[in-house]
Amino acid sequence: MTNTENLALFLDNLIEKDCSFAIWSMPGSQTPEILLTDQKDLIYPAQFNKLNGQEGFVFAPYQISQETPLVLLKPGIYKKGIQEILTLDMAQIQQDQAKENVADQHLIIEKEAYLEAIDKTIAEIKNSKLSKAIVSRLIPKERKTESLGKLYLQVLQQTPNAFVYLVNLPKAGLWMGATPEVLLKTENKMIETVSLAGTQIRRTDSDYSWHTKEIEEQAFVSRYLLDVFYRFNIHPYTTQGPETLESGKVAHLMTTFRFSAKKLAHKLGDFVAELHPTPAVCGYPKSKADKFITKIEQHNRRYYTGYLGPWRMNDSVRLFVNLRCMEIMPDRYILYSGGGITSRSVPEAEWEETLKKADTLSSAIDAVQNT
């Protein structure tokens, strides 16, 4: 067997034993990193800003609740690279006994209902101070007998410029994803965050032209980030973009913001709590959009549009917004997908956009199931 085949088998065994773990690969890297921890080393901060002073791997929901807690895997067994990971002895890894079964109560709506929700959202935007709202839906896909380890490696192969992950946690469940969106990362004494929004089908020639709707949608996110910078007295900062970011089957508009890490030396958790959720996953103004979403969406977003990644591990932070993700149930995958709705939105086009976004993972599932 090759090393990649052995890694797939290793991950399948971890899932079989219900071990608490996270495995991930950074954008542009084919090098997986894994963190294994005992259940006693999982902590559940009550608020997003309680991450100050902590370290480990964070898996955060859209909204903290009893059903969807904020989870931090404290540093346990950490390995980087396939060869290093394969030095771990599966026989020495303890099987978790207190696994909590996550009930499959996902609400799947048909196309007509989603289009109706978009119509209502557009009407709300035109008749109120709401400028943008993200409306999501759940897409089910049959799970057969395929290896989840092979599926993780397939997703990594198909989306090399995304943050590709697989996590298994007692209270959160089993999740996989390939997200292109940085929430916050530190590098060389600098902090970086991005404004990412607007979507179109990925082109083979990379020759993109953007319409007013997408430009406006992305500008709302940039404006919000600058409001947060002002509240934390962050200046000066540099910007790069807007530019096109290709990821999976789609492309987005992105602007990158950078500033000195000294600005948030002891307030990084507070800053992340203020950033999340950004208008890219909620809407603008944020408070109005958040209230509207609770009315228009009938399902629980759970960890979709939350965030995840290494938190102060190896003296760095790498947090990503949990997009292009799915929850893995015993007999099916639940893919989460949504779109940014503005006054210029066309309901049918928004439906198609959710399909294209979901295709990042759906196509990987097809590839593994058909081998």
pLDDT digits (tens, 9 = 90+) for 201-231: 888 888 899 989 889 889 889 999 999 999 9
Per-residue pLDDT of 266-300, as tens digits, reads 889 999 999 999 988 999 999 999 999 999 999 99
What is the average per-residue pLDDT within 99-114?
84
Q: Band of the pLDDT at 96, cuts 50, 70, 90?
A: low
Q: What pLDDT shows up at residue 26?
A: 96
Per-residue pLDDT of 292-308, as tens digits, reads 999 999 999 999 999 99
Torsion of CA 320, 322, 326, 328, to 10 degrees: 70
Percent of the chain with pLDDT strictly greater than 90: 76
pTM of the model: 0.93
Q: Band of the pLDDT at 249, cuts 50, 70, 90?
A: confident
Phi, psi of 20 (to 5 degrees): -85, 115
When comparing pLDDT for 164 and 249, which is higher? 164
Q: What pLDDT shows up at residue 101?
A: 65
What is the average per-residue pLDDT within 104-118?
93
- pLDDT mean across residues, the chain: 92
Q: What pLDDT shows up at residue 24?
A: 98
Q: What pLDDT shows up at residue 99?
A: 59
Q: What pLDDT shows up at residue 274?
A: 94
What is the average per-residue pLDDT within 178-189?
92
pLDDT at 142 over 60: yes
Q: What pLDDT shows up at residue 136?
A: 97
Q: What pLDDT shows up at residue 42?
A: 93
When comparing pLDDT for 66 and 197, which is higher? 66
CATH number at 3-98+106-369: 3.60.120.10
